A and B are shown apart, each in its own frame.
Chain A
Amino acid sequence: MMTIVFSLFLLTMLVIVAVAILRTENLFTAVMLSGIFSLIMAANFFVLDAADVALTEAVIGAGISTVLFLGALALTAEYDRSPPVGTWVPLLTSSALGGVIIFATFQAPRLGDPSAIVHQHVAPWYLEKTPELIDVPNVVTAVLASFRGYDTLGEVFVVFTACIGVMALLGRVRPRRDSIKEGEFKKATDNLRHHLIPRVVGKMLVPFIVLFGLYVQFHGDFGPGGGFQAGALVAAGVILYSLVEGGVRGRELVPEWFSSVLVALGAFTYTSVGVASMLMGGRFLDYSVLAHDPVHGQHLGILVIEAGVGMTVAGVMITIFHAFSRRGIR
């Protein structure tokens, strides 16, 4: 009962925030609201018992995306000045689309129904076999890192590709000097140094955030977490440091060349595990052959690929943040 009330409250808030994002013309407000949107979403995932997803959404959606959006905003303008286009056709299209999805979901199984088909086919197998084959308490980690490890490898490469894309845009095109205003981002990056309280409090938080990141990284087998969340947390720590100490100090802490190499190195580490298991006589990404005992092999494989994931994700976040902050200051 409590869950239902809580879910209703969260979902209502979600709709209100979404409408507010659409209606506002101040992009700064929109960015802040989308951060709130992500936080509510994270709470929603948590209510649905998807702790891993909730953690990721909170760190990336509410935390880092907001900072990156602000960075983008600092390079452009604060107000949406695009002329109002014919809103009827898009409105009708989206409404029709939403209608179709709602129509379809009437047929969907009830939330949390244990007899739903989703819970009857592969899921019981994962729950039953994980202790025996992989022996980690967190089944989500077993599925992500081993059973569907090839997907996760793909996702790491998606992140790597995205990094290349952002760097290609931000690193190459040289804007005219007067086209960049002295944006808010400069304030956000450098002027915090003159605000004593945020600086002191922020600096105190950094080591704890990084420590928590490392905990999430190495505790992913046992509780919610893993490379994605840990990478984002460590990056959040570095970004917070850059925000309170200024971009220059931030780039001294983690140089740009290092963070961008880290991205590729993480993807390389993950693929190397796959190639190593091929060389040792198994199939691609078959960690069982990595040690004498298959279960130990699985542990070793998961440890290394999670490290690769963490490296790539942390590297991407820091690289993109640096790219924005450098341009905001120039």
Chain B
Amino acid sequence: MTLYDQLPALVVAVLLFTAPIAYMLRMHGFPWAAATAAVVTSFIVACSLAATAIGGETIIYEMGGWPAPYGIVLHIDALSALMAMLITGASSAALIFGAKSLADEVGEETAPAFFAAWLLCTAGLVGMVITGDAFNIFVFMEISSLSTYVLISAGPDRRALISTYRYIVMGTVGATFYLIGVGFLYMVTGTLNTADLGARVGQVEDIRLVLVAAGFVSVGLAVKAAVFPLHSWMPNAYTFAPNAVTVFIAAASTKVSLYVLIRVDYAIFQNSIANHEVQLTLFLVPLGVMALFAGSLLAIYEKNLKRLLAYSSVSQIGYIALGIAMTSVAGLTGAIVHMFNHGLIKGGMFMAVACLALRYRTVNVANLAGAGKAMPWTMAAFVMGGLGLIGVPLTPGFISKWYLVLAALEKGWLGALLVAVILISSLLAVIYVWKVIEVAYFREPRANAVPVTEEAPMVMLIPTWIVVLTGIWFALDTSVSVGLASIAAKTLLGVAL
């Protein structure tokens, strides 16, 4: 076998191989360096997989050499490749960006465990998106969840522990629901391979167990994806995690649960349950619409900048849920592109927030007065991200909203209503982004405040701007992001490419 044939396994194997090494070798600076090297390698491999997948090709890699459905296979198509690129890219960017801030926040003694957890988290998330096995998804979900708890609890504030505890409870409920659903599916089909499940679920005579399984899987994944109103674990988890960790998990982690939701619903249930479109619409459209409004409103009234962005994520996840619920090529393309684009936007914004936090020692919006003058580059990056959240043309957010609006217009009067909802929530996004801009640019710092005169260090600014510019790149040249997403959408819906 050539190296090229081994790439699908390498994308996750390199991370799993490095994690124990990073944990065992307790040299100064080594864990960070090893983690960064492994994650960047994995990112390069993911990019080369995407290059194959963009031709519409699906790569099957048999783990242990055993064919499906007896063994576990990796199943990498356009959707998997796009997600793998997002996860490893976000992980690399956050690690490089956080080189200094993580060293301060984590400390020498706990660094090996922390960076091993970081590697495991990346491996868990990548493992979930490349596998073609429903139970294997659960195994890697466990790895990613447990390691995310470790990463969040490393936050400097003691409240990080309470937030982690809440997340553990909710995350475990979500994962257990998923497992119960997969158990029922195994009971009626005798297989765990996703493709095989898709073929065999349709042959089940009595659909009752399948329906219950679909319910458990969907609700469990909605909890893990922080779909409103199951988002309660998420804002505080983002707020109290170390800044670089927030960048990574905000960009990648909830998206992976949405990915699994798409994969399971479309690859397994779509063809086998009659009227599955209606069920999906009834489940996700109300939740999506509620998420758009509730998330935006909570963001408008929020004083802590990190939590504000977290609530904004709740509303942005609403867009993705709407796109998934439309069961059309345009809707699904919009949802998938928005997963990718929102990852880029939010990653960049949380990087800017980390820069602000470094100099201002606080992330309260009210205390950031004068940041526009003191830290022009950082605030410019933040504004670029904000424009993306609103969906202004020439930002990545515009592309995904464009596809969502196109998809909604296909749906008649309900679609017109959804377009109105999307527009109103974009206006709400203007309000919460403006709230920050107004304070940062137009308000004078308080007289008794310690003046901030220094811009963030270059080691943080450059990665931030690379992410921001990548976002603009994907807004101008959509051949990769929309290209992969539309192939993915067509494959999932069984439309000819």
Contact = CB atoms under 8 A, between A and B. Distances in A.
Interface of A: 100-101, 103-104, 106-109, 117-123, 125-126, 129, 146-151, 153-155, 157-158, 160-162, 164-165, 167-169, 171-173, 261, 264-265, 267-268, 271-272, 274-275, 278, 281-288
B180 interface: yes
B254 interface: no
Given A103-B212, A151-B72, A154-B127, A275 B17 contact: yes
A101 B180 contact: yes
Contact of B20 (A108, A154, A264, A287): A264
Nearest to B2: A281
Interface string B104-116: 0000001001101
Interface residues of B, number: 58
B20 A267 contact: yes
A158 B277 CA distance: 35
A117 B188 contact: yes
20 contacts: A100-B215, A104-B212, A106-B208, A117-B187, A122-B69, A129-B70, A147-B70, A148-B72, A150-B63, A154-B136, A154-B139, A155-B139, A161-B117, A161-B120, A164-B147, A165-B149, A168-B150, A168-B154, A169-B153, A283-B64
Nearest to A266: B20
B63 A267 contact: no
B20 A285 contact: no
B66 A161 contact: no
A221 B150 CA distance: 35
B186 interface: yes
A153 to B, nearest CB: 7
B70 A158 contact: no
A118 B184 contact: no
Given A120-B190, A168-B113, A286-B64, A158 B146 contact: yes
Given A120-B190, A150-B63, A169-B153, 18 more contacts: A104-B213, A106-B208, A129-B70, A150-B71, A160-B20, A165-B117, A168-B117, A172-B110, A264-B21, A267-B20, A271-B16, A275-B13, A275-B17, A278-B13, A283-B62, A283-B63, A284-B6, A284-B64
The SS class assigned to the A binding surface is helix
A154 B143 contact: yes
B120 A285 contact: no
B91 to A, nearest CB: 16
Interface string B199-230: 01000001011001101000000000000000
A165 B188 CA distance: 36
Contacts of B23: 160, 164, 264
Given A125-B70, A149-B64, A268 B21 contact: yes
B63 A108 contact: no
The SS class assigned to the B binding surface is helix
Contacts of B123: 157
A107 B212 CA distance: 11
A151 B135 contact: yes
A44 B20 CA distance: 36
Contacts of B127: 154
A231 B215 CA distance: 37
B19 A157 contact: yes
A123 B190 CA distance: 8
Contacts of A281: 1
A261 B116 CA distance: 13
Counting chain A CB atoms within 10 Å of each CB, the highest count among B71, B133, B149 belongs to: B71
Contacts of B135: 151
A282 B142 CA distance: 28
Contacts of B117: 161, 164-165, 168
A285 B153 CA distance: 33
A153 B19 CA distance: 13
A172 B158 CA distance: 12
A169 B158 CA distance: 11
B395 interface: no
Interface in B92-127: 110, 113-114, 116-117, 120, 123, 127
A167 B235 CA distance: 25
Contact of B153 (A151, A168, A261): A168
B9 interface: yes
Contact of A286 (B65, B140, B180, B212): B65
A162 B212 CA distance: 30
A161 B150 contact: yes
A161 B61 contact: no
A282 B209 contact: no
Contacts of B120: 157, 160-161, 164
